[in-house]
Amino acid sequence: MSPWRAFGARSARILLVAFALFVGAPAWAAPSLLSATASTRERAQLPEPVRAWLYNEQVLLSRSVDTERIYAVTENLQKKELAPEAARVFKLKTYWVDAEKLDSFEARSIEPAIRELFVRKRAGRTEVRLVVHPESESFYASVTRDATPGDDLHASATASSRTVLAWKPGDAAHPFFAKLSLNAQIGGVVRTIPKGEVARSVGVTKILDGEKKLPGSFTYLPEVFGVMPKGFERGGMIVRQIPASILSGEKRYVPLFSLYADPPDGSPTMIEDMIKKSGESPDTFVRTRIIRPMVEQWLDLLSHHGITTEPHGQNVLVEVGKDGLPTGTFLHRDFGGFNVDFDARQKLGLGPDKSQLPTLGDFDKEWHTTKSEDTKENLETYFGGGVLFNLDKRFARPARGRAEPAGPGRFETMMDEELRARATEVTGKKRFAGLVQAMTATQRHAIETRAAEKPAAAPRKPLASPPARPAPRVAPATGGRR
Ligand SMILES: Nc1ncnc2c1ncn2[C@@H]1O[C@H](COP(=O)(O)OP(=O)(O)O)[C@@H](O)[C@H]1O
Ligand SMILES: [Mg+2]
């Protein structure tokens, strides 16, 4: 018997599995995947501040949310090796598609280098680069069939798997974020990007870029380029630019979820370290450095700009100063969750007019203009249910043997107190009292439902753009608009 046969197929399989566990998923598990060694080598080329950001997205990642208010985001049916937790680098195929076959939108703030990467002229025709997530190659087959293959990009997933950090191989000094259509289900929703979100996201950038007197504590990652293949209801792509101040390390931001994520080595969470460093009590720290600036910003954006955000643990990052403590400034990403109240903005004398903003034809549907009332709950739902819920769990656990009290936790109650205290001060307007009432009604609702026998009956919100409605009966607009 040959030594190989004696060794046996079973032993060979065990060895193979052991090898796979040792080096991570084998490259053949997904053809686009770089080997573990190549992944490490590629990541090492990224600027240090970007590597630190990616570490937070992939290692200090907490998916915990209050499932009574937000749909659980723990379930991830995509390929494991492409998920953020795998921390792998993979290749993204790209295709140059004739601009006539797509609708594309760009903000004026797009940097020339990013524009060059996505738009080119060939034989007198404009072509747009479509970036395809490895799990969406068959989804896009009808678009890519006649397109010219472009060079691959390198990428690694952020906490929101479909949003990847991407860079041109050999040019890791200039990475950007690409929010790609991911044809796999995460948290109960297929993560392809709906049509309406593409124009709106670039449009929100346009509004914010031109807005005066935004709260000093508010900053954002601009969504400078968006693409939507014609004839598709879902399948958009959005490019988020990373400001130079972040690439250089001058400004540092940490996802809110990383504050309370448990480090794998069992050491204290980032927020526990920060609290210790500040010498403050958890109550003072969380109230004055997290809750108060967020509440002030929320009220200011809503009352002076007619804008609401979706401030959950993944969408918002907090600025960390040179002293290692939060500065009170928040960096927002993901304009899919932003809502703009155009009636309110008109009353405030703010432009731009709807007619100057990008749309694929059905403005009210794409911009959710009828939804603004609901969004008054977003602070309570997303900041409360996504962030404070976790801080409450960590710092306000009842004493051993005591039952969990019904109703909002200590920090959520603080948010309510801060809302009441700041509403008149920040807005200077009586009409704002209505919002505070709405908030407290939501709080009351939360108390009632949590105390009830079946808390799952509470209304929950998905962490995704609303599903696309039936196709609008409008002629698709031509590409290349602002
Ligand atoms: N702590 C978290 N809170 C919310 N979403 C999270 C968190 N951690 C990971 N995620 C992932 O980020 C995505 C958040 O949804 P959403 O903001 O709507 O998506 P996107 O940023 O891709 O537009 C989901 O895919 C979810 O699984
Ligand atoms: Mg998001």
Q: Which ligand is nearest to the CA of 161?
A: 1
Q: What's the pLDDT score for residue 399?
A: 54
Residue 113 lies in a domain: no
Tell me how far the alpha carbon of residue 163 lies from the centroid of ligand 2, in angstroms.
8
Q: What is the mean pLDDT of the chain?
A: 85
320: phi then psi, degrees, rounded to nearest 5? -115, 125
What is the atom index within ligand 1 of the atom nearest the CA of 70?
A: 4
Tokens read off for 390: 């976790």
Instruction: Ligand 1 pocket test: pick from 160, 182, 237, 269 the residue with the most ligand atoms within 8 Å of its Cβ.
Output: 160
Instruction: Ligand 1 pocket test: pick from 56, 73, 256 the residue with the most ligand atoms within 8 Å of its Cβ.
Output: 73
Tell me how far the alpha carbon of residue 478 lies from the centroid of ligand 2, in angstroms.
28
Q: What's the pLDDT score for residue 377?
A: 76
- Burial class, 310, CB count within 10 angstroms (exposed 0-12 / middle 13-18 / buried 19+): buried
Instruction: Ligand 1 pocket test: pick from 57, 204, 314 the residue with the most ligand atoms within 8 Å of its Cβ.
Output: 314
Residue 143 lies in a domain: no
Tell me how far the alpha carbon of residue 128 lies from the centroid of ligand 2, in angstroms.
25
Least confident of 252-266, 333-347, 420-434: 420-434
DSSP code string of 99-150: GGGEEEEE-TT--HHHHHHHEEEETTEEEEEEEE-GGGTTTTHHHHTTSEEE
- In percent, the amount of the chain with pLDDT more than 90 equals 69
Nearest CA to ligand 1 atom 1: 63
pLDDT bucket at 466, cuts 50 / 70 / 90: very low
How far from chain centre, in Å, is Cα 38? 27
Interatomic CA distance for residues 233 and 198, integer angstroms: 11
Query: Burial code of 452-470, b = ≥16 C-beta within 10 A, e = fewer?
Result: eeebeebebbebbbeebee
Residue 391 lies in a domain: yes
Around ligand 1, the residues with Cβ closer than 6 Å are 62-63, 65, 73, 159-163, 186-187, 257, 312-315, 334, 336-337, 386, 463-464
Check: CB of residue 271 under 8 Å from CB of residue 259: yes
What is the atom index within ligand 1 of the atom nearest the CA of 257?
A: 1
Query: Which tens digits make up the pLDDT trace of 334-359?
Result: 999 999 999 889 989 999 999 999 99
- In percent, the amount of the chain with pLDDT more than 70 equals 78
Nearest CA to ligand 1 atom 22: 160
Interatomic CA distance for residues 187 and 22, integer angstroms: 29
Nearest CA to ligand 1 atom 8: 63
Residue 351 lies in a domain: yes
**Pick from 291, 456, 258, 255: nearest CA to 379:** 291
Rounded to two decimals, the pTM is 0.86
Residue 194 lies in a domain: no
For the segment 353-377, the average pLDDT, to the nearest whole number, is 82
Residues forming a β-bridge with 104: 227
Give the strand pairing for 176-179 and 237-240. Answer: antiparallel
What is the atom index within ligand 1 of the atom nearest the CA of 73?
A: 27
The total number of structural domains that make up the chain: 1
DSSP state of 347: H
Interatomic CA distance for residues 424 and 371, integer angstroms: 24
What is the atom index within ligand 1 of the atom nearest the CA of 386?
A: 3
Q: What's the pLDDT score for residue 23?
A: 46
Interatomic CA distance for residues 35 and 21, integer angstroms: 12
- Burial class, 192, CB count within 10 angstroms (exposed 0-12 / middle 13-18 / buried 19+): buried
Nearest CA to ligand 1 atom 15: 463
**Pick from 238, 248, 264, 249: nearest CA to 87:** 264
Query: Which tens digits make up the pLDDT trace of 222-244?
Result: 999 999 999 999 999 999 999 99
Residue 423 lies in a domain: yes
Q: Is 60 exceeded by the pLDDT of residue 459?
A: no
Nearest CA to ligand 1 atom 4: 314
Tell me how far the alpha carbon of residue 371 lies from the centroid of ligand 2, in angstroms.
19
What is the atom index within ligand 1 of the atom nearest the CA of 333?
A: 21
Tell me how far the alpha carbon of residue 388 lies from the centroid of ligand 2, in angstroms.
17
12: phi then psi, degrees, rounded to nearest 5? -60, -40
Check: CB of residue 358 under 8 Å from CB of residue 225: no
More confident residue, 158 or 413: 158
Residue 184 lies in a domain: no
Q: Is 90 exceeded by the pLDDT of residue 467?
A: no
Query: Which tens digits make up the pLDDT trace of 48-105?
Result: 999 999 999 999 999 999 998 888 778 899 999 999 999 999 999 999 999 999 999 9
Q: Can you give the CATH number for the domain in which 359 is found?
A: 1.10.510.40
Residue 390 lies in a domain: yes
Tell me how far the alpha carbon of residue 84 lies from the centroid of ligand 2, in angstroms.
14
Those residues whose beta carbon sits under 5 angstroms from the ion ligand 2 are 160, 314-315, 334
More confident residue, 314 or 406: 314
Range of the domain at 285: 253-457
Q: What's the pLDDT score for residue 423?
A: 78
